[in-house]
Structure 1
């Protein structure tokens, strides 16, 4: 993922309703949700939701497919994972994190510790 795509994705997620919609779609899984159901769940007007979903689709974060008269939106997990990978690429000092551990920098010389340091 290049920096232009990252900026577009983060820009799309930097709005309260779009972030909520994306999180809802991540929870919905591969089945996705119709735009009307997303709007209802978030308490938004359908026209407003369509605007926000278009922004997420333009950033590549969601996909859409037609099912009869409905448009079903789904989180694009490949793009989401690429974004997370880009953001955490060097989180462990350049050493790849294993899937079992959370990305966490070395402990600071303060009282603050990361979850993986607390056992």
Structure 2
């Protein structure tokens, strides 16, 4: 990931509704969610939700899949992984134990993480 792509992803996540959409899709996992259901869960107007989904898609954080007349969205975990890797590529300065808490916090091991 380059700097411009990272900035686009961070800007996309820097807006409350888009952050909520991304987290909702992460929770939905491999099933994803239809666009209408995303809007419904967020209490957003359909065209407003569509604008947020477009920004997140362009930032490489979510991906759409057409299902007939509707579109289902999924968190793009590769895009998210690339963003995390970009942010941490110079981490630790030779002391990997400094990064371990961050890595442990993002590893999906099946145990619930405390709410923040």
- TMscore range, shorter length: 0.7 to 0.9
SS class of match (1:73): strand
Return the structure number with greater relative CO, CA threshold 8 A, min gap 6: 2
Aligned to 1:50: 50
Q: Which runs of 5+ in 1 are unaligned?
A: 105-119
2:102 and 2:91 mapped to 1: Cα distance? 6
- Separation in 2, partners of 1:96, 1:77: 23
- Counterpart secondary structure, 1:63: strand
TM-score normalised over the length of structure 1 = 0.78
CA distance in 2, matches of 1:83, 1:97: 21
Please give the root-mean-square deviation of Cα atoms over the aligned residues, in Å.
2.1
1:103 aligns with 2:102: yes
What residue number does 2:29 align with?
29
Query: What are the superposed Cα offsets for residues 54-113 of structure 1, whole Å, 9 maximum, x if unpaired?
Result: 0001111111011122100001100101101111223322444699x3139xxxxxxxxx
Pick closer, same or farther for the CA change 1:46–1:92 going to 2, 3 Å.
same
Distance in 1 (CA, whole Å) between partners of 2:12 and 2:72 is 19
For 1:51 and 1:97, the matched residues in 2 are separated by 41
Change (3 A) 1:95 1:84: same
Max radius of gyration: which structure? Answer: 1
Identify the residue that residue 66 of structure 1 maps to in structure 2. 66
The structure richer in helix per residue is 2
Alignment-derived partner of residue 39 in structure 2: 39
